């Protein structure tokens, strides 16, 4: 049996909106094994992004249990948690979220800086990455000089550079045209084949089809998986 990367047990997230308590995620039970490619589906407001953020530890569940690689995340201190996700999780965003002031090369390099990787090693790793995706020629451009698809490619490279165990992608093709979308989804499928574990949130049936498993959310609840 494959290793379990993460498991959620009755995990919930509520927020206070004025005097009302609003439940965004309700008793989520989910297990993710290494090598899976999961697609979270559901209409707007069903809680896909929140679930992704909570799994990515950018946000926290307010109730229930969350274990990542066997460690109880909900009992961790902020500092340990950030160490954990820095080490094992890579993010890909719908709006790419590249840093506008940094060149392609530097954007990809930044996570390594925060990990404290030595300069010579960084150079080699980024060069490998650029080479692998065939964008060596674009390394000195700024994000605005790239097309949306190319920007998302850089976003994915940035997510991959730290060799994460888990890639979280929130609507990675939401801002792209269909041709670019296909390219990006094929890239994800390939990465998955090479062994990466991926969770993506998506609206699109087409995109979801690339995954190995589909989890449907509605009003914060898992309705089918």
Partner 1 sequence: MLKNYFKIAWRNLLKNKIYSFINIIGLALGMAVAIMISLWVTDEIRYNNYFENYDSIAQIYQSQTFNGYTGTGTALPRPLEFLLREDYGDNFEHITMSSWTNSRYLKFGDKIISRTGNFMQEPALDILKLDIIQGVENGLKEQNSIMLSKSVAETLFGNDDPIGKIIKVNNEHDILVTSVYEDIPTNTDFGEVEFIMTWRHYVATQQWVTNAIDSWGNNSFQMFVKIADNTTMETVSSKILDSKKNANEDTAEFNPQIFLLPMKDWHLRSQFENGVQAGGRIENVWLFSIIGAFVLFLACINFMNLSTARSEKRAMEVGIRKAIGSNRKQLISQFLSESLLVVLFAFAVALGLVLLSLNGFNDLASKEITFPWSSIPFWAYSLIFILFTALVSGSYPALYLSSFRPVRALKGTFKAGKMAALPRKVLVVTQFTVSVALIIGTLIVMQQIDHSKNRPVGYDKEGLIQIPTFGQDFLGKQDLMRQQFLASGAVLEMSTSSSPTTNVWSNRGGYTWEGKPEGFQESFTWTEVSPEHVRATGMTVIEGRDFSREFATDSNAVLINKTAVEYMGLENPIGKFIMDEDEEDPDPPMQIIGVVEDVIAQSPYEPVGAGFYVFDGSNNGSFYNVRLNPNKSVSENLSIIEKTFKGLFPDLPFRYDFVDEEYAAKFASEERVASLARVFTILAILISCLGLFGLASFVAERRTKEIGVRKVLGATVANLWILLSKDFIKLVVIALLVAIPLAFYFMTQWIQKFDYRTDISIWVFVAAGVGALAITLITVSFQSVKAALANPTKSLKTE
Judged by the rule CB under 8 A, the positions of this chain that interact with partner 1 are 53, 56, 58-59, 79, 82, 85-86, 91, 93, 95, 97-102, 106, 110-111, 113-115, 158-159, 162
CB neighbours of 53 closer than 8 A, spacing ≥ 6?
A: 59, 170
Q: How far is the CB of 37 from partner 1 (least distance, A)?
A: 21
Q: How far is the CB of 97 from partner 1 (least distance, A)?
A: 5
Closer Cβ to partner 1, 58 or 214, answer by number: 58
Measured between alpha carbons, how far is 27 from 205 in angstroms, rounded to an integer?
25
Closer Cβ to partner 1, 161 or 215, answer by number: 161
Q: How far is the CB of 163 from partner 1 (least distance, A)?
A: 13
CB neighbours of 22 closer than 8 A, spacing ≥ 6?
A: 14, 15, 16
Closer Cβ to partner 1, 168 or 208, answer by number: 168
Q: Exposed (0-12), middle (13-18) or buried (19+): which is 7, by Cβ within 10 Å?
A: middle
Closer Cβ to partner 1, 107 or 202, answer by number: 107
Closer Cβ to partner 1, 8 or 52, answer by number: 52
Q: How far is the CB of 82 from partner 1 (least distance, A)?
A: 6
In this structure, is the dihedral angle defined by the CA atoms of residues 173, 22, 215 and 4, taken in order, positive or negative? positive
Q: How far is the CB of 131 from partner 1 (least distance, A)?
A: 21
Identify any residues that bridge with 65 across adjacent strands, giving them in sequence order.
9
- What is the token pair recorded at 12? 């919930």
Q: Exposed (0-12), middle (13-18) or buried (19+): which is 66, by Cβ within 10 Å?
A: buried
Q: How far is the CB of 3 from partner 1 (least distance, A)?
A: 23
Closer Cβ to partner 1, 53 or 216, answer by number: 53
- Cβ–Cβ < 8 Å for 149, 132: no
């Amino acid at each position: 049996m494959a290793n379990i990367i993460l498991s959620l047990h009755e995990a919930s997230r509520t927020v206070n909106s004025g005097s009302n308590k609003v439940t965004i995620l309700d008793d989520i039970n989910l297990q993710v094994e290494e090598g899976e490619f999961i697609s979270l589906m559901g209409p707007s407001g069903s809680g896909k992004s929140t679930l992704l953020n909570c799994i990515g530890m950018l946000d926290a569940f307010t109730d229930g249990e969350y274990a990542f690689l066997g460690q109880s995340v909900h009992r961790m201190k902020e500092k340990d948690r950030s160490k954990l996700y820095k080490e094992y999780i890579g993010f890909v965003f719908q709006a790419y979220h590249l840093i506008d002031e940094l060149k392609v090369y530097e954007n990809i390099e930044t996570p390594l800086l925060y990990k404290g990787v030595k300069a010579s090693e960084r150079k080699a790793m980024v060069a490998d990455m650029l080479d692998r995706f065939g964008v060596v020629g674009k390394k000195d451009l700024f994000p605005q000089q790239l097309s949306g698809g190319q920007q998302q490619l850089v976003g994915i490279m940035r997510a991959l550079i730290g060799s994460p165990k888990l890639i979280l992608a929130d609507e990675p093709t939401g801002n792209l045209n269909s041709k670019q979308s296909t390219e990006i989804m094929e890239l994800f499928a390939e990465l998955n084949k090479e062994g990466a574990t991926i969770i993506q949130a998506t609206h699109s049936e087409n995109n979801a089809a690339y995954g190995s498993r589909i989890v449907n959310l509605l009003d914060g609840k898992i309705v089918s998986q």
